[in-house]
Amino acid sequence: MANEYIVLTAENIESEHLCCAIADKKHQQGVEEKKTWLKERIGEGHIFRKLNAKGKVFIEYAPLEKAWVPVEGEDYVYIYCLWVSGSFKGKGYGKELLEYCIDDAKKQSKSGVCIISSKKKKPFLSDKKFMKKYGFETADAINDEYELLALSFDGTIPHFTKNAKKQSIENKELTIYYGMQCPYIPNCIEQIENYCKENQIPLTLIAVDTLKKAKSIPCVFNNWAVFYDGKFETVHLLNEGYLKKMLDR
């Protein structure tokens, strides 16, 4: 029997769980924020497709023109997240979800599909080796570390925005650009604010709450980006422990 998947819609979103924060109570505020964000995106062609099971098995993608990332290209689909975790790994779910996205892009007569990855595996970014199995190739790169992978159907390729390649800002304080697309972000923000306040660490938080802001961010970005001493540091979501390690380096 074929695996059963569910696509979130305006009608079912309130009754369905979000796979990425399925069982963690401290992220429930983030779940509500995410659902609010999603409701506004669904009409733009944003897709959240998940396995009908209590697990982290889903893909999330959107038309690149409407995707909240500093990437440009005509008629592409952008994948925000492809996640299969725990006991669900190794059962072909990732393959099925990715092939669904590719087929959907072809049905819409898109030019291709793209995703942000990295030369070496990083948390919160899809594995380059996995994507290459399906024909994705490096279309653009930032600092020989972060890569934009693309599967082109017509020979055209997307690219990072010019601003994204700056990877620096004038502000020397710990600075975090964040969106509300990821359910983990509100809790991360709370931990960071508390730690910085307790330790007198200057902190600047910049909410990325419009498509225009997301397209103009001065670094690679997929919901989250951290600067310190004016330099881009990571897309890794920060909790108190990770923040300590970063500041001690």
pLDDT tens string 16-30: 887 666 556 677 788
Q: Do 202 and 150 have their domain in common?
A: no
Q: Taking the model in full, what pTM does it have?
A: 0.94
Number of domains in the chain: 2
Q: Do 110 and 83 have their domain in common?
A: yes
Q: Are 101 and 67 in contact (CB under 8 A)?
A: no
Segment 104-126 shows an average pLDDT of 93
Segment 157-186 shows an average pLDDT of 95
Label residue 1 by pLDDT band (50, 70, 90): very low
Find the farthest-apart pair of alpha carbons in the chain and give their distance in angstroms, rounded. 57
- The SS3 assignment for 231 reads strand
Judge whether residue 36 has pLDDT over 50: yes
* Whole-number pLDDT of residue 199: 94
Q: Do 124 and 153 have their domain in common?
A: yes
Q: Do 111 and 207 have their domain in common?
A: no
Label residue 2 by pLDDT band (50, 70, 90): low
> Residue 216 belongs to what domain range?
164-248
Judge whether residue 77 has pLDDT over 90: yes
> What are 198-224's pLDDT values in tens digits?
999 999 999 999 999 999 999 999 999
Q: C-alpha 170: how far from its chain's center?
A: 25
Q: Are 222 and 142 in contact (CB under 8 A)?
A: no
Asked which of 127, 161, 195 is the last residue of a domain, the reply is 161
Q: Do 152 and 225 have their domain in common?
A: no
Tell me the CATH number at 216: 3.40.30.10
Sheet with strand 224-228: strands edge to edge? 203-207, 174-178, 224-228, 231-234
* Whole-number pLDDT of residue 49: 96
* Whole-number pLDDT of residue 22: 59
> What are 129-152's pLDDT values in tens digits?
999 999 999 999 998 899 999 999
* Residue showing tokens 């225009």: 212
Q: Do 63 and 109 have their domain in common?
A: yes
* Whole-number pLDDT of residue 160: 98
Tell me the CATH number at 101: 3.40.630.30
Asked which of 161, 187, 215 is the last residue of a domain, the reply is 161
Q: Do 115 and 15 have their domain in common?
A: yes
